């Protein structure tokens, strides 16, 4: 198909995600022909370094030979079959491996096909657990400011990004939102690497007051992604685990973005040496190949659902593509690659390379902070350094960085005034350097006035 015709038909029929479609008048979507390693390649052969892992899903690059093989081998057997009353090797193998890798006593795996659905599953399971264990007044969920847990109504109810949620407020579940950590603009004047998270007091006082009505706390461990890669210290999670234990409240870890090596460990909770009651995983789980998600939980929680049929305690939740064999086969291969190619050990020099950038970026007059956790780093642009005054959102500085970076050959889709890096874990050091140089040039230009 000729490109002009492709774009005409796109405008005619396609509604893109998280986009004001009118923006396409200025910046039409870029048709991609193929991928190769960390690069997306358009029909003119122009390459873009995928600096955001195609919305945080890609782990080992595009068009990966091992993942391609796992996918086609499974396709040669069966692409999909019903998962109620039937099972298959890829799902069983994936479950076994995930339970082995997961922190603590997480030992049961429930399948769905996207992150929001995994969050819905955790919320429903937690709620139902308390219904079936004699504490039915525990019905509410707690989340923190700027949280992101997905876009379906349940997931949005525990979200804190007003941009995505405000208009839907009248149709969302009622819950509790507490002030979470905000290390860049710390209200206590502390540093994230040395503090003891006194900001946890907000969570503490809410649970002390309301624990009888609370089923679970849900949180993104260590990095609040959609909030602008807000990074906070593991001590906050340690305190959360202890508090949840003290008040019989579930801890739901949403590791959809941070799981699978992004923080330098397989799962972010490992940094805090704690284990959640539910862990939601998606995104990197298939290396960015296919939609798949899982919710892990403990035998203890599972037991509250396990009874004779007539007890009506089963978890009657399903999605048509639950446990899709193609996705599971690729996910198993992803875990094998982690192991056999020693991916986590290979990250150290790249994390050091990211750290070495802090000084350079923070020397810019309009960069308030360069922060990093694992293989994720973020540059927060500010209108004024003194007082950390944000640029007015209407100026869309981030969008300008995005446009300039595209011209220079990098995909850096920002979050408001935050330009971030979440490249595939396998990015080579010279590719990472190139990505950082492009970001530096683009940010310098956009903040020059
Ligand atoms: C992306 C994301 C989700 C939602 O996943 P989808 O597959 O987009 O529905 C939930 N939580 C976090 C932390 C995420 O980053």
pTM surpassing 0.95?
yes
SS3 224: strand
Helix (H) / strand (E) containing 371: strand 367-373
Query: Atom 7 (ligand 1): residue with closest C-alpha?
Result: 115
How high does pLDDT run on average in the chain?
97
Cα 280 to ligand 1 centroid, rounded to whole Å: 9
pLDDT band at 1 (very low <50, low <70, confident <90, very high): confident
Provide the 8-state DSSP code for 200: G
The pLDDT value recorded for residue 368 is 98
Map out the domains of the chain as residue ranges: 31-59+344-446, 69-340
The pLDDT value recorded for residue 291 is 98
Structure confidence by residue, pLDDT tens digits, 401-425:
999 999 999 999 999 999 999 999 9
- Retrieve residue 156's tokens: 């949005």
Ligand 1 test: best mutation among 150, 151, 226, most atoms within 8 Å of CB? 150
Structure confidence by residue, pLDDT tens digits, 354-368:
999 999 999 999 999
Backbone angles phi, psi at 30, to 5 degrees: -95, 115
- Retrieve residue 312's tokens: 């009506």
For 187, counting Cβ atoms within 10 Å of its Cβ (0-12 exposed, 13-18 middle, 19+ buried), the class is: exposed
The pLDDT value recorded for residue 335 is 98
Query: Atom 8 (ligand 1): residue with closest C-alpha?
Result: 115
The pLDDT value recorded for residue 220 is 98
The pLDDT value recorded for residue 64 is 98
The pLDDT value recorded for residue 171 is 97
Q: What torsion do the CA atoms of 53, 54, 58, 64 make, to the nearest 10 degrees?
A: -110
**Alpha-carbon distance 352 to 433, whole Å?**
12
What's 31-59+344-446's CATH class?
alpha beta
Cα 308 to ligand 1 centroid, rounded to whole Å: 35
**Alpha-carbon distance 111 to 295, whole Å?**
7
pLDDT band at 17 (very low <50, low <70, confident <90, very high): very high
- Return the residue matching tokens 């970026």: 361
Structure confidence by residue, pLDDT tens digits, 122-156:
999 999 999 999 999 999 999 999 999 999 999 99
- If one counts every other C-beta atom within 10 angstroms of the C-beta of residue 83, the result is 19
The pLDDT value recorded for residue 449 is 78
Determine the CATH number of domain 69-340. 3.40.640.10
Cα 292 to Cα 117, 281, 295, 325, 378, distances in angstroms: 10, 9, 11, 10, 27
Structure confidence by residue, pLDDT tens digits, 385-400:
999 999 999 999 999 9
- Give the pLDDT mean for 312-334: 98
Structure confidence by residue, pLDDT tens digits, 23-72:
999 999 999 999 999 999 999 999 999 999 999 999 999 999 999 999 99
Cα 218 to ligand 1 centroid, rounded to whole Å: 13
Cα 342 to ligand 1 centroid, rounded to whole Å: 26
Structure confidence by residue, pLDDT tens digits, 249-308:
999 999 999 999 999 999 999 999 999 999 999 999 999 999 999 999 999 999 999 999
Query: Atom 11 (ligand 1): residue with closest C-alpha?
Result: 149
- Retrieve residue 313's tokens: 């305690």
pLDDT over threshold 90, residue 9:
yes
Cα 5 to ligand 1 centroid, rounded to whole Å: 33
pLDDT band at 192 (very low <50, low <70, confident <90, very high): very high
Task: Name the residue among 178, 177, 203, 182 with its Cα closest to residue 192.
Answer: 182
Cα 108 to ligand 1 centroid, rounded to whole Å: 21
DSSP track, 347-397: GHHHHHHHHTTHHHHHTSTTEEEEEEETTEEEEEE-SBTGGGBPPPGGG-H
Q: Point out the ligand 1 atom lying closest to the alpha carbon of residue 55.
A: 1
Query: Atom 5 (ligand 1): residue with closest C-alpha?
Result: 115
> What is the percent of the chain where pLDDT is above 90?
100
């Amino acid at each position: 198909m000729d490109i002009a015709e492709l774009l005409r038909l796109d405008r005619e029929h396609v509604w893109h995600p998280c986009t004001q479609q009118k923006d396409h008048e200025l910046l039409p979507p870029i048709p991609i022909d193929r991928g190769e390693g960390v690069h997306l390649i358009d029909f003119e052969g122009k390459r873009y370094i995928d600096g955001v892992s195609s919305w945080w899903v890609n782990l080992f690059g595009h068009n990966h030979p091992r993942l391609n093989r796992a996918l086609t081998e499974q396709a040669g057997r069966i692409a999909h079959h019903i998962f109620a009353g039937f099972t298959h090797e890829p799902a069983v193998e994936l479950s076994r491996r995930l339970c082995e890798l997961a922190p603590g006593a997480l030992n049961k795996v429930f399948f769905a096909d996207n992150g929001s659905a995994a969050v819905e599953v955790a919320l429903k399971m937690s709620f139902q657990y308390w219904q079936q264990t004699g504490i039915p007044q525990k019905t509410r969920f707690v989340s923190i400011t700027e949280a992101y847990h997905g876009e379906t109504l349940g997931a949005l109810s525990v979200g804190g990004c007003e941009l995505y949620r405000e208009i839907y407020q009248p149709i969302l579940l009622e819950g509790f939102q507490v002030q979470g950590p905000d290390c860049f603009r710390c209200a206590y004047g502390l540093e994230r690497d040395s503090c003891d998270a006194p900001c946890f007091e907000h969570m503490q006082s809410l649970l002390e007051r309301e624990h009888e009505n609370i089923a679970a706390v849900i949180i993104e461990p260590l990095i609040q992604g959609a909030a602008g890669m807000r990074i906070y210290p593991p001590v906050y999670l340690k305190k959360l685990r202890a508090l949840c234990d003290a008040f019989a409240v579930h801890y739901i870890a949403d590791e959809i973005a941070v799981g699978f090596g992004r923080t330098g460990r397989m799962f972010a909770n490992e940094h805090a040496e704690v284990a959640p009651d539910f862990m939601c995983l998606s995104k990197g789980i298939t290396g960015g190949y296919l939609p798949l998600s899982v919710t892990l939980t403990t035998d203890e929680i599972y037991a509250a659902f396990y009874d004779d049929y007539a007890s009506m305690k089963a978890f009657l939740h399903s999605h048509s593509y639950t446990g899709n064999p193609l996705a599971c086969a690729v996910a198993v291969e992803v875990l094998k690659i982690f192991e056999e190619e020693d991916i986590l050990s290979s990250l150290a020099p790249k994390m050091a390379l990211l750290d070495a950038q802090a000084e350079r970026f923070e020397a810019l007059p309009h960069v308030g902070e360069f922060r990093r956790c694992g293989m994720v780093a973020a540059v927060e642009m500010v209108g004024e350094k003194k007082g950390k005054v944000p640029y007015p959102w209407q100026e869309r500085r981030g969008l300008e960085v995005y446009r300039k970076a595209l011209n220079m050959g990098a995909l850096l889709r920002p979050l408001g005034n935050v330009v971030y890096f979440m490249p595939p874990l396998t990015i080579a050091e010279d590719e990472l350097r190139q990505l950082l140089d492009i970001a530096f040039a683009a940010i310098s230009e956009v903040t020059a006035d």
